[in-house]
A and B are shown apart, each in its own frame.
Chain A
């Protein structure tokens, strides 16, 4: 991509936003670019940005998964429940990932094989999986996990990086290769552009969709596991409402809600913008709710601005001819 085209593209816009936010933050605090602060920056929202990666695949495929936050909660609650019923921790962790896989399998079955709208199916999942999580832990809080488990989420084990951050980086690389360098990745785009066209070209669309939902479930469960390890205790309402933040990250990254377009570079930049924005606002004593509304405004503006430019350009052209 040439420099001029980069400037006009979505990624260029995000890069500009990122530069402004980071610039302002550095001016505000000289330690901003220190390794400690950057690790901290990632740590605070690490579970959300992990799930945002698989959400990107789902949305490019033309679907949506609203149930991810509930699956995160379910996974954490499965670990808590099993561990407190005497199941060894590694087994409990495997069971949590399996629970995520089953949740994804259920979503995927109804969407891919029965043909129901994913918005409705995963809305049911959002409520239902959270319900199961609540049934497991009720209104109690489970703590007292082995040190090595808590360390997964809290301690820097790879140089300055935690396990969670390494998981994110590895997953980012894997998904980037799958999405942009493999045949499977092309299928995801093709199906997002036109499911009919994909089907008529002989693509076996159902297994592809199912596998995406299962992946989304397993990764959400993994994120829930990491969240439990980071907090060191589990409650029934863990990760509640995260789905909106996660979807915002993906859409701000330039992925079309209608599917078929967007890329992982954009989502990576959007993640950096949101993390830096939240951190910067935190340094400037702006609290959680205002932070969320600024990001909401950014989401709307990021779609509104290009639309407006397009409208003005069209009018200008109309006048010339």
Chain B
């Protein structure tokens, strides 16, 4: 137990449980749904997960600082729509430019959120509740309620969902999946290893203390919102690639799914704890349930009811199990401290 405890943190136990849950869910579905283990199932789940997961990375950064970003649904929809429109106007535009358009739009939206929260000193839930409505309204007004269609898009975007980077067995890892995995890896390393990333946790777990030791609180919060916006923009581009047809109503309500992924992934809604990998696992679990229940004809309408139950269980287990685990770890640490001086007194 001690060896285990030294190498695994309580938070990682939680991620392992989540991983186990995903395996259990997949096994359960495979035993009920015929032909479940096909590349097609993988494709379907993955294309839904990548969008939620990329947006959930940004949401994690914000939630860890004890804030929330409810505007992601509108930002994803806006980025998808405008990137699609611009790509359609000039089909010769390089792919990087189209992605940059989507990300830049997200950054602009995130920066406005960040400014209002830091300089305006408005609670983030109020700011992003407002901008959720404003960004969607701007999108509907500017677009004249027209729809981006697959025909108007350049061929490379239409082909993107089938463009494979590498294959594992019969499973194809498309550009979108690789992009998501890359983002998760970078964000996880930044938030757990770099000083810059640790600040997010410090501010979220104790804002007063962070202020007293002279952390640049405003700058860090601003960065969190900008990053959340940028990732929402990227998720918008992935949405464009996945569907091809983008209405002004696209991604409406996505913010709830993203927050759900983050909460299921074990990120504390009051800030200070949780990881990007956890949130991604949350997104994968939700995506697996959604897409698999869809295949069970009888239960299509049970999807949301089960999802709600899942979130509740995740949060409850966070409060009940994780607290106990932390207490157990802390007690073992104390015991180790007690033993050390004793060991020193007896020379071998």
Contact = CB atoms under 8 A, between A and B. Distances in A.
Interface of A: 110, 114-117, 119-121, 123-132, 134-135, 138, 236, 240-241, 244, 247-248, 251, 257-258, 287, 289-290, 292-297, 299-300, 303-304, 307-308
Given A116-B315, A307-B120, 20 more contacts: A115-B319, A121-B315, A123-B259, A124-B309, A127-B304, A127-B308, A128-B311, A128-B312, A131-B303, A131-B308, A134-B301, A134-B304, A244-B129, A248-B133, A257-B126, A290-B137, A290-B141, A293-B136, A300-B126, A304-B120
Given A134-B304, A289-B136, A290-B140, A127 B130 contact: no
A125 B259 CA distance: 13
Interface of B: 68, 116, 120-123, 125-127, 129-138, 140-141, 252-253, 256, 259-260, 263, 269-270, 301-312, 315-316, 319-320
A135 B301 contact: yes
Contact of A123 (B135, B256, B270): B256
B256 A292 contact: no
A132 B134 CA distance: 31
12 contacts: A114-B319, A117-B315, A120-B263, A120-B311, A121-B315, A131-B302, A295-B133, A296-B129, A296-B130, A304-B116, A307-B121, A307-B122
Interface centre among A251, A295, A296 (most CB of B within 10 A): A296
Contacts of B311: 120, 123-124, 127-128
Contact of A125 (B270, B308, B319): B308
A290 B302 CA distance: 34
Contact of A130 (B121, B123, B304): B304
A248 B120 CA distance: 18
A110 B320 CA distance: 12
A247 B131 CA distance: 14
Contact of A299 (B126, B141, B259): B126
Contacts of A294: 137
Closest 7 CB pairs of A and B: A128-B308, A293-B137, A131-B304, A131-B305, A296-B133, A124-B311, A296-B130
Contacts of A248: 129-130, 133
B262 to A, nearest CB: 10
A41 B262 CA distance: 39
Contacts of A247: 129
Contacts of B131: 296, 300
